[in-house]
Structure 1
């Protein structure tokens, strides 16, 4: 037996309930407050626990529980008040030369007392040591690696080619090779074995320098720079970049310290030569040290291949202090434009990163950084392009 359902019509007028309406002067969601007026009478004594103000003063008690809990300010506002301004705002202000407020007399005196010689002194940039370990831990690989060297034992000897054009090319390349031994290629190296070989090269460089074999040390630096042209294992390239630049920085430090030793000069009022001060100028450098410094840059300029020539010059960039004091911006811009000649966009980007890193340690100029950033943005879409990588 089926039942038939029918809807009962409802009289809305009878069911409607009207709420009492009254006029208000404050928004219902507005923060509530109670104003307590104190006088000299009994009421002031009763409210003495709420206020310590004098006669006729008034105080406002907030009823917002969040404001009461946070003492009237949210955590982010309190943090900003303690910090003054965030690091990005500080960097932007210094990048643009400071705001009008920063150009006032008080700020001008602070700037004058805080003269810096490089961007790293501003303490706004993360130290390289902090990034180095993170890169080595993140970018690893299980693929086999290879290394070309003439200073380590083992590996297969690289043979010359048979065609006439390849013979000519091979003979030209021999001008850049090493007289100490045969160039060998080590294949099928694991990541750990590769790191050990690189550390051995770094040790060989230091040992050659300590035994006064400067040319051999330079050639090891050149050979290590050439390894950065190999991008066959892309996921390991950042770690390779870190390992190779460690060797280059070691080489640049050795050259700089050697020039400091040769740069002893006679201080005014003294009869005996002494070491150069930390803030020395080129006019304090003796002629012998200047000639040695120029010879280093002449040797580097004679390197035939672009990539090692760039990296080795960037490694000893700080040594330009012995020759000039106000041409770092010009030198950095020249190197910035030379990097445009590197065919592999990935290799070019890392070369620009290294240039910016060494440049920040010698000057406060930022024009070369903007130029490198613009060049990176121009080629960024080609870095991991499959067709371009296959063509390379």
Structure 2
């Protein structure tokens, strides 16, 4: 018996295999029906069920991290006092200081060589033979001249001095260590090399901190104490004597600055002598007033504030005194606004820049442990009163000091006293700091807690007065940006328009630089975020003007934000909004080089543009929508994802027109023609194949056979163009290709043959494709051959399993009735496919071999009558499956039952499974 197709009654098979249906009493996703799953979770939690919800599993990481923190705290408590409270913060601050003021490697400087030690040979004179009065004797170190060295060399020698001090200490020569430490601090007495002073300070204080630790540990070892909370009475006489000796040596230093630094380094050691070492701080503050140089004075107070943190307790009065002293120093340096034409001399400006970090750090220390109830008292002590009448007559604040106070004040206090603080900034007339930066900082601090800002209308009125006085575009934008959240939050639309008018007026007089562009972008984003509706944004004054002002990355960011906002709330139907958004999308596309962008950079803007195009809906005006798609195709030709979406949208339009019946068939043809032009421009062949098949389905739905033939031909041609290298590298691409080919076969059931009587036109081309492609793996080829067999078997039936909905397409069984050659051609093609299936399964070596064998066996048994050829094929396939599966495998057993029902029972009786 030769090969013959099985006769199928698809309708009867559907009825026989369909599950019985009944009306459900409750929706499967309703609350009542979910009770069973709730019980299941409870059972899981009690250990009675295998199911376990991963979201309900407890995580022990919290306890672990908590114990880690405890261990870290315990470790911290064991460190030396100089590291106890300050290590992390102090190290990060010094790192910031050096990064903020980098040192040139080539700039020369003159420095006394007495700061450095020549050689590392230990001094033979013992410590007991050296009297304290000899600590300042530089002749011991043979310092004779002044050298001209570079800044980098000077810093390198100072850095090496730290190791040398440690070496002398380890050798037992502690007096020499002290002498070298004094020399290190002397480098801070000379501020002629003003640019490297911060770095000199960092290196010198590193040495001071090290020496302080060495002395502390030595005295603690002599005191023979282990606990940290000791009293002065617990210390033995020998340890106290050593401690007194160290302070006596430090007190004998002639120069004031080294004496202060050394005593600060040893400050924690006062605990061995007094229970309240913090009382020493007042004397040290008074000593710093004797330092004449402003830079050295400021950094000495910085180190004083840092060292005070090593003490377990201290009053903030000495820090207030430090700040007030710094204010007096700065008052002598900074002229009023009206002098020097509003500009500072270069050296003074540099000096203020270098002093600012010291002011910032002292103020941070002041606010570190300050309680809220003490704030007003502290501000009064600093010369800042909340009483405006007192403030306007006698204020003693300096702009740079006020700036860092505003940084540290609690936001609740700032919100409660916003008007007073704004007035305070306004009346300060020194030039130590740009006042617009203080106005700006106050605005940003207020915006941290907008809802709690008091006297909003009074504040905003005052702000508008201040703002109007700034003719400079940068300052105006900066202030507008800082207070914009307050204006938007309180719905002060009139004032918003005033600000926008002011920006536009100043833009006409000045060129927008990069800095201004960044601030303008921030202003625009805040407005967009607040309104959140494209219609309200378009109604704003000068919206288009502001958009035209922007360019570069700022414009791109704004454009993306607008598109994101416009596409959040569903379809876009207003023609005016569509036109504006199209211009925005085009500006974004033109502002980005999509051809040279990385994938991660390209993805977000391209998806926003694609989403915008997808969300546009012209309603029943389908012709207008198609024109819009054509416009987008030309405008965004470089976005492949968008080109695909255009094809999808065009197909949706065609289906919509056919369903509504209110458009001529010429419009549907226009949609098909649009796709036929668009698809070839998409570079990925698999994407093209998918789109050709989708468009062919639309053509089949409308009965456009001529377009259908061209689209299917183009789809098969796409297969020939697939890049084998990419497919072999990407397994998912190969699976996608097979899936699309199978889909093409499934659709071909409804497609009539070619112009000549050729019912097997498409399967023959697919078979030719398989034979010409070496990259197709055996499992892939077996699936395609099975699809060809299914297609051939379906085409041989007197009734198709499905057909085109329109009814306008004549089926193949109607076209080829009375043509025996057509049936024979299908059988001949299936014979080749059947042989290929068996060979491919036998060549397959992957884990899927058994599954592939059973799938192929089911294909053969459901498509052909039992015959010698089909029995032989199924026998081989079943044997392969038995070698891969156990006897009780469900797939294998169901396949054997199907073979028995399909009169392939000889296979089932051929022997045991296994």
TM-score, structure 2 normalization? 0.26
Shift of 1:304: 1.4
- Quote the residue 2:90 is aligned against: 128
2:188 to 222, 228, 236: 228
1:138 to 81, 97, 100: 100
Does 2:210 correspond to 1:250? yes
1:152 corresponds, among 112, 117, 123, to: 117
Secondary structure at 1:127 match in 2: helix
- What is the deviation of 1:204? 1.5
Q: Does 1:334 align with 2:283?
A: yes
The answer to which structure has the higher helix fraction is 2
Aligned residue in 1 for 2:326 = 376
Matches within 5 A, 1:304-343: 304-326=254-276, 328-343=277-292
Q: 1:147 to 1:138 in 2, by over 3 A?
A: farther
Q: What displacement does 1:152 show? A: 2.6
Query: Are 1:119 and 1:363, in contact at CA under 8 Å, matched by a contact in 2?
Result: no
Residues 196-225 of structure 1: CA deviation (Å, up to 9, x unaligned): 201221112111111111111111111111
CA separation in 2, counterparts of 1:132 and 1:380?
23
Distance 1:388 1:297, change over 3 A: farther
In the other structure, the counterpart of 1:166 is none
Matches of 2:313 and 2:165 in 1, distance apart? Answer: 31
> Given the superposition, is the C-alpha separation of residues 257 and 307 from structure 1 closer, same or farther in structure 2, using an over 3 Å criterion?
same
Please say if 1:349 is aligned against 2:301: no
Q: CA deviation at 1:180?
A: 2.8
**Cα deviation 1:137-194 (Å, max 9, x = unaligned):** 221343323243275339xxxxxxxxxxxxxxxxxx9872235321245533223322
**Relative to 1, partners in 2 of residues 1:141 and 1:176: Cα closer, same or farther, differing over 3 Å?**
same
**Partners in 1 of 2:219 and 2:312 — Cα distance?**
20
Structure 1 match to 2:235? 285
Point out the structure with max Rg over C-alpha: 2
The Cα shift of 1:387 comes to 11
* Cα pair 2:294 2:329 within 8 Å, conserved: yes
CA 1:122–1:253 in structure 2 vs 1: closer, same or farther (change >3 Å)? Answer: closer
Residue in 2 aligned with 1:294?
A: 244
Determine if contact 1:300/1:309 at 8 Å carries over to the other structure.
Answer: yes
Unaligned runs of 5+ in 1: 1-44, 51-117, 155-172, 265-274
Change (3 A) 1:388 1:235: closer
The structure carrying a bigger strand percent of its residues is 1
Deviation at 1:369, TM superposition (A): 1.2
Q: 1:242-289, CA deviations, whole angstroms, 9 ceiling, x for partnerless residues?
A: 01111111111111111011111xxxxxxxxxx332222111111000
Structure-1 residue corresponding to 2:57: none
Q: Distance in 2 between matches of 1:214 and 1:120?
A: 22
Given that 2:257 and 2:291 are in contact with CA atoms closer than 8 Å, whether structure 1 keeps it comes out as yes
- Per chain length, whose mean CA-contact separation is higher, i.e. which structure has more relative contact order (CA < 8 Å, sep 6+)? 1
Distance 1:195 1:122 in 2: 27
Question: 8 Å contact 2:82–2:209 — kept in the other structure?
Answer: no
Q: What do residues 342-367 of structure 1 show as CA deviations (whole Å, max 9, x unaligned)?
A: 11111111100000000011143222
Residues in 2 aligned to 1:375 and 1:248: alpha-carbon distance in whole angstroms: 24
Structure 2 equivalent of residue 238 of structure 1: 198
Residues 315 and 218 of structure 1, relative CA distance in 2, 3 Å threshold: same
Q: Is the contact between residue 260 and residue 284 of structure 2 (CA under 8 Å) also seen in structure 1?
A: yes
Report 1:112-123 matches (<5 A).
none
**Equivalent of 1:215 in 166, 175, 178:** 175
Q: Is residue 226–residue 307 contact of structure 1 (8 Å, CA) maintained in 2?
A: yes
RMSD: 3.8
Conservation of the 8 A alpha-carbon contact between 1:150 and 1:184: no
- With over 3 angstroms needed to count, the CA separation of the structure-2 counterparts of 1:361 and 1:175, relative to structure 1, is closer
- The answer for the alignment partner of 2:6 in structure 1 is none
Equivalents in 2 of 1:294, 1:208: separation in Å?
A: 21
CA distance 1:122–1:132, shift in 2 (3 Å): closer
How far apart are 1:291 and its partner, in Å?
Answer: 0.6
